[in-house]
Amino acid sequence: MKVECHQVENWLGLYADGVLGEHQSSMIRAHLGSCETCAVLLLELEFAIALCKEYPELDPPPQLIERVLERTIGQHRSLSWTEYLRELFRPLYASPRFATGACLAAISLSIVMNALGINLGEVRWSEITPQSVVDSLHRTANVAYDNGMRRLNGSKILYQIQSRIEELQGDDSQPQKRPQAESESRDRPRESSATEHRLAVRTLDPQCGQVLEGATAPQAGVL
């Protein structure tokens, strides 16, 4: 079903909030794809919401609490400093946003500490010196470099590239030997497979071993 601009306007503010159902949202999406005016309006609307979100939160003047107390209970502040600070910042640290931020910060810190090879359970304050931090960083960098190089050297693709280069070098220096080398490399697997076959037969059937050995002897001679 197609919708008109005025219908979209009735929903656009809620669409930006993501509170509309899937049916309405898909109709709006389809309309926005074809109507530039409404698409621009949505951008303006999102800009307005973003401005609201970044609107500064002001610190109330310190004497405001005193004035409120004076006007309500007729006395000055009697909370201790610790209680005062705890109550003052409670809405901040009790908010879900703060809790999420604190958790993310803790996770990031633990990842960084892990990467630096620092185990908090084993760390003593006396050991935390600039020199020890630098040494730890140096050690971590070396270990990371070694691991990286080992993986690089052990990678299959490197072997393939290396063998290809050797092949190419071989082509340049001894082009006349190539057919012979190729025939050798073709024969080698056949030889080994035939040998393996004989060994396997002997192992499986020791009684028929001699007969089989005799039967296979000419083959071995051919090979």
Partner 1 sequence: MTDVDAEIIEQARRGDPLAWEKIVTRHTRRVYNLCFRFVGRVDQAEDLTQDIFVKVFRNIESFKAESGQFVTWLMSVGRNLLIDYYRQSKDDRMTVSVTSEEDDERSILDSVPASEPSALAEMEREERSVLLRRALDRLAPQLREAVILRDLEELSYEDIERILKVPEGTVKSRINRGRLELARSLQKLRLRTREI
Residues of this chain that bind partner 1 (CB under 8 A): 9-14, 16-17, 19, 41, 44-45, 47-49, 51-61, 64-65, 67-69, 71-73, 75, 77-79, 83-84, 87-88, 90-91
Q: How far is the CB of 1 from partner 1 (least distance, A)?
A: 20
Q: Which is nearer to partner 1, 83 or 196 (CB)?
A: 83
Least distance (Å) from partner 1 to the CB of residue 99?
14
Task: Write down the least CB distance from residue 29 to partner 1, Å.
Answer: 17
In DSSP notation, the chain reads ----HHHHHHHHHHHTTT-S-HHHHHHHHHHHHH-HHHHHHHHHHHHHHHHHHHSPPPPPPTHHHHHHHHHHTS----S-HHHHHHHHHHHHHTSHHHHHHHHHHHHHHHHHHHHTT--TTT--GGG--HHHHHHHHHHHHHHHHHHHHHHHHH-HHHHHHHHHHHHHHHHHH-GGGHHHHHHHHHHHHHHHHHHHHHHHHHHH-STTHHHHHHHHHHHHHH-
Closer of 77 and 150 to partner 1 (Cβ): 77
What letter would DSSP give residue 17?
T
Shortest Å distance, C-beta 158 to partner 1: 48
Task: Return the number of the residue (9 or 213) whose C-beta is nearest partner 1.
Answer: 9
**Nearer to partner 1 by C-beta: 7 or 216?**
7
CB of 16 to partner 1, least distance (A): 7
Give the angle 203-207-211 at the CA atoms, nearest 5°: 95
Nearer to partner 1, 28 or 198 (CB): 28
